[in-house]
Structure 1
Amino acid sequence: MRLICPNCGAQYEVPTEVIPEAGRDVQCSNCGHTWFQYHPDHAAYEPDDIEADEYAVEEDTAEASAPPSPPEPEPEPPEEPPVPEAPPAPEAGPAPGTTGPQRRSLDPSVASVLREEAEREAQARKADSGALETQPDLGLDSPSETDEERRARQARERMARMRGPSAEVDPHPPEEKPQSETGSRSQMLPDVDEINQTLRSATDRRPVETPQGRAPEIEEERRGGFSRGFFLMILLLVVIVALYVLAAPLAEMVPALAPLLETYVAEINDLRVWLQDSVAGLTAPTAE
């Protein structure tokens, strides 16, 4: 037996035995709607016909007892749309050939701005065309340059690099006259004395002599070195004497240094005895 939900139309296949002959209430599991289901063998259409007849009799009774409804008002005729008025005829003007329209004069500031824009655009277009037409230098040697000229140019560049940034190099050296193949190639080679002078270190270079003597810079350097050495020796002597005099207080303050300080004091005492004996030996012959 097939059950069809009157609300959502869901269909269910159930055994016929679950519905009694008198019928029963069933509920749709899909939408929750509940209705009364008759058995298939039960005459389910007779009560429906009776209910339909009773409903028709009730409608007839209600219509007879109701007061007559007032007649419907007649619809009003639609309003006619207003007729648009015709536009006035244009006045006859002068013939187009007699007088032309007057042109409005351009503001001078606007004209100058437009002129500058046109010039700028023309310059940009010219620059673009120039960038497309020109070709940068690819660094290739000129075909007219010979091997001798190339070697001479490379030698000059090496000499300029060895001399350092102080040496001024002419970016456009004078063009040399081409030499014959039979000529001597000794002029193309770099000077050995110049190379030795550039490679000599600053300490090996001879001091520059002037008519008044050596350069003052070298004298100042020597004087400064002597002063530094003298003060260093004085400082070392002061440290030695201070350690000898303050050995006992330092040993009390730092007991771990006591053996070292005792050894140091003993060495200084031996040195004093040796100096005393040496001085006595030197002064003894003169005293006799």
Structure 2
Amino acid sequence: MRLICPNCDAEYEVEESAIPDTGRDVQCSNCGHAWFQLPPEIELALEQEEELFGQVAEADPAPAPAPPPAPSPVAEAAPVTASAAASAAPQPADPEAVLAAAARSAPPAPAPQTAPPMAELPRRPLDDSLMAILREEAEREAAARRIEGSAIETQPDLGLAAPPAAAPSATAAGSGLAGAARRIAQMQGIDPDAPPPAPPRPAARRDLLPDIEEINSSLKGSELPVADLSEDRSQTPAAEARGFRSGFALALMVAVLLLAAYVAAPLIKAQIPALAGGMDAYVSGVDGLRLWLDGMMRAATDMVRGLTAADAGVAGG
């Protein structure tokens, strides 16, 4: 059937089963106007009834009855006999005759008006991708309803309580979110039904262990430095011993030269008079050093003797 918006004259084609016999409220998607819609046959009957009662109401009213003529005055009323009174009384009208006369005087009933056949409005075809999305949504909703309606299998022998049934609102919200996620994936060119990628395979045991050849090559490369280190270590004591000997010999030679200069000081002054002042200062310094060493030795000797005497006194007492 066709619905026409009384506000913007927009036309819609709907199924006749969409409008019940009692009517329903409909709203125009173009202008938002809402009105109460009845089935076509009921609307037609109401229109015919309105037209019929409207014609009866609009018909000319019947003329008012003329007033009865005033009785003429008479000088004296004549005596009325019983037979004359009976003949003068009005006779009751026949009911059937009255109904027939009323039917003849009534206007003829209007013929029922039939609505002209309405041509079907062309429907715009939907896009194939949109139809596919709508079909998937319908299948998903049907599957969700089947899952909700099916009983949950439980194992009573485990002693587990049956899980609570999911709320319809939560299930509907979850299905709506899943549908939105699928549409977003399709817009991004991702197949939502594709299986998830397989997890990476664990590395083989051979790959986890170090390579023996690499270990051998590293060990072979470190042999030479170890050998060099051992050679250096073997050469170090000899070099140290050689250096110690050289230093000791040099110190001994200097001491011998100083001692020879001290002993031969008078001869050097006689042979080289210019060195007399230096040799005198040198001899005086050596003599002072000898006196200082002699004093230190005497003090040490006295201290040792005192300690020895104290120890002896303690032992004798």
* TM above 0.5: no
Structure 2 length-normalised TM: 0.24
Structure of higher CA gyration radius: 2
More helix by share: 2
